[in-house]
Structure 1
Amino acid sequence: MWSDMIGNTIGLIALALGWRRSILTWPAQLLSGVILVGAYASAHLSGGVGKQLLVIGVAAWGWSQWNRGRRRSEDGGDGSIAVRFASWKERGLLLGGAVLGTLAVGGLFTLYPSLSWSPWADAYIFVGTLVAMVAQARGLVEFWFAWLLVDLVGVPLAFSSGLAFSGLVYVIYFALVIWGMRDWWLRTRTASALEGATA
């Protein structure tokens, strides 16, 4: 229970930092993932454990991506990451990867029932988390949409698995994701208007 509570609290902080486009979102996500591995393992949710291991790996990669992509103060930036909408090709790749990945992971969990008692829901969350984090690492507004879709399954699954704090945090995530998505969306419009004015 304590690892669930602490890990998810740090996860909320990571989401808020992501909303602010702070590079600290990545070490916070990494730490949250490490702590939540224990929470999901105790609840026998192998998909959740796999998801958190994935979070740890992608957080390390995202950290390096954002570190390279920050707008430096000497270039007129504020040190935060620039955000944008994905191209149609990128959206297609994200969607295709999500569908194929969910089918592959869900199939694996179905073949080996000991890995997950809820194979398709776990696979959906596992792959959806990867898609969301890859999109976030690239500064794509669509990462917020991916998190919304993950939350729609993650909330009921967490409550039904006895991880009430995780379920509550997912509900808070949902609200933060809506606000974060609005903020990033507005920032892309502002950036586009500035580019048009200087063109």
Structure 2
Amino acid sequence: MNPFTELLDATISVGGVPILWREIIGNAFGLASAYGGMKRVVWAWPVGIVGNLLLFTVFLGGVFNTPQALDLYGQAGRQVMFLIVSVYGWYQWSRARKRGLRESPETDPSRSIVTEPHEDTAAVQPRWATGRERLGLVIAGIVGTVGCAMIFSALGSWGPWADAWIFTGSVLATYGMARGWTEFWLIWIGVDIVGVPLLLTAGYYPSAVLYIVYGVFVIWGFTVWMKVHTKSGGTPEPERLHATV
């Protein structure tokens, strides 16, 4: 066995249960990436990519011979989606940092955004989705979950229905965040509610703990967006929002 394989297969025993170090490290990198994203520093993206790669191997347990020996294709698919988004975000934030350094050489080079955005120039104004947009989310959630569950079942995924909702909900939440819909926080809560029991039952304990930590972040983020929404005086006009997104 070579050192690389030994590193991948290294475990720690907690209560007699073997847990992969790469699951612990991958989740630690994911939490560090979330913190870096909150602080808006460029290193958040490459750190997140490392975590995504490690967790991808963890959730394809049947392929990479994990102690659980379970394949969670929805969880693995999430890592691929997040990896793609991270590559794009890394590129965009690096461009913003370089542009900021040219315009303001004294700027801390580790930061991606030169100054705190003013309320009038924020990238997105939080708002509740319209009735039509909510209907679209519900339909996409149902169709996506059913479709993914059928695919995951055919592939041999463990817990295909829960896995399918986690993947579909993650996609919808990411899309909702990009559109500035406050509902995206609620979708993440729905993902966590299903994800924690699934991961605990499957034996992915570090990942389940991280879901709980993310759940706290999500509730905090929801309250922050609600405060911004309330301060802005309610839902902005759709035409105005589309011009700012």
TM-score tier (shorter): 0.7 to 0.9
The alignment status of 1:131 with 2:172, answered yes or no, reads yes
SS of residue matched to 1:192: coil
CA pair 94-16 structure 1, distance change in 2 beyond 3 A: farther
Aligned to 2:21: 2
Identity of aligned residues (%): 31
* Aligned-residue offset at 1:99: 1.1
2:185 paired with 1:166: no
Residue 135 of structure 2 is matched in structure 1 by: 92
Distance 1:74 1:37, change over 3 A: closer
Whether contact under 8 Å (2:73, 2:152) holds in the other structure is no
**Of residues 218, 221, 224 in structure 2, which corresponds to 1:177?**
218
Higher RCO structure (Cα 8 Å, ≥6 apart): 1
RMSD: 3.4
Are residues 149 and 14 of structure 1, via their aligned partners in 2, closer, same or farther at CA, if it must alter by over 3 Å? farther
Instruction: Give, in whole Å, the separation in 1 of the partners of 2:76 and 2:57.
Output: 8
Whether 1:186 aligns to 2:227 is yes
TM-score by length of 1: 0.77
Cα offsets for 1:117-137 (capped at 9, x unmatched): 211111111111111111122
Equivalences for 1:113-128 in 2 at 5 Å? 113-114=155-156, 116-128=157-169
> Given the alignment of the two structures, is residue 51 of structure 1 paired with residue 78 of structure 2, yes or no?
yes
State how far apart, in whole Å, the 1-side matches of 2:79 and 2:228 are: 30
The answer to which structure has the higher helix fraction is: 1
Cα displacement string for residues 87-119 of structure 1 (whole angstroms, at most 9, x for unaligned residues): 313222222211111011111223x142x0211
Any unmatched runs of 5+ in structure 1?
A: none
Contact 1:3 1:35 in 2 (8 A): yes
* 1:84–1:3 CA distance, 2 compared to 1 (3 A): same
**SS of residue matched to 1:87:** coil
After superposition, what is the alpha-carbon deviation per residue over 1:19-48, rounded to whole angstroms, capped at 9, x for unaligned? Answer: x48475972544432221122123432222
**Aligned to 1:36, which of 55, 71, 75?**
55
Q: What CA distance in whole angstroms lies between the structure 2 residues aligned with 1:65 and 1:138? A: 18
Structure-2 separation of matches of 1:16 and 1:191: 27
Equivalent residues, number = 190
* 75 and 159 in structure 1: CA distance in 2 versus 1, 3 angstrom threshold: closer
Preserved contact between residue 84 and residue 188 of structure 1 (Cα < 8 Å): yes
- Structure 1 position 173, deviation (Å): 1.4
Task: Say whether the 8 Å CA contact 1:102–1:120 is kept in structure 2.
Answer: yes
* TM alignment of 1:74-89, pairs within 5 A: 76=118, 81-88=123-130, 89=132
TM-score, length of structure 2 as denominator length: 0.64
Residue 157 of structure 1 corresponds to 198
Structure 1 residue ranges (4+ consecutive) displaced by more than 6 angstroms after TM superposition: 62-68
* Alpha-carbon distance change, 17 to 180 in structure 1, aligned in 2, over 3 angstroms: farther
Structure 2: gaps (5+ residues): 1-19, 62-69, 97-112, 237-245
Change (3 A) 1:107 1:44: closer
Residue 149 (structure 1) shift: 0.2
Shift of residue 172, structure 1, vs aligned partner: 1.3
